[in-house]
Amino acid sequence: MPSYIWWFYFALSLLLAVVSLIQGVSSPIELAFGIVNAFALAGLWGYISQVAVGWRLFWVLYFVASVVANIVGLALFAADIGQRDFAFLMIVSFSIVLVAPMYLALWRYAFRSPKVWMIQSA
């Protein structure tokens, strides 16, 4: 069973998502990222609550696609790193640290929570 620190992380992630929504969506890409992030929050909630949200196969594919997309994004970023200033690099580094627990939770949810997937989906 996940610890209470996960609930704190969920609350922080939800707060950041709400702040992002309040700031507004200025492009279709931002809207797509918002939807993808909403799925991540749903998966995080399912992991913490130990409740099946949807289907396990969806979460396996979601996790793999997210990791691949972020690796590609980081590779593109690294190719252009000479053009970036220090503040931008710090923001990216902080973002990676902030997102790492989400990937851990989604990985555990998709691959290490067999009891969750024996229960009826929520």
Per-residue pLDDT of 70-95, as tens digits, reads 888 877 777 776 666 777 778 778 88
What one-letter code names the amino acid at 93?
S
pLDDT value at residue 60: 97
Q: Which of 107, 42, 45 lies closest to 70, judged by CA?
A: 107
Indicate if the pLDDT at residue 97 is higher than 70.
yes
Report, in angstroms and rounded to the nearest whole number, the Rg of the chain calculated over CA atoms: 16
pTM: 0.84
Indicate if the pLDDT at residue 122 is higher than 60.
no
b/e burial code for range 14-48 (CB count within 10 A of at least 16 → b): eeeeeeeeeeeeeeeeeeeeeeebebbeebbbbbb
What tens digit of pLDDT does each residue of 8-40 get?
999 999 998 898 888 888 888 888 888 888 999
Q: Where are the alpha helices (DSSP H) in 1-122?
A: 4-23, 28-49, 56-79, 86-111, 114-118
Q: Which residues, at least 6 apart from 10, have a Cβ–Cβ distance to it below 8 Å? A: 41, 44, 45, 48
For residues 94-122, average pLDDT: 87
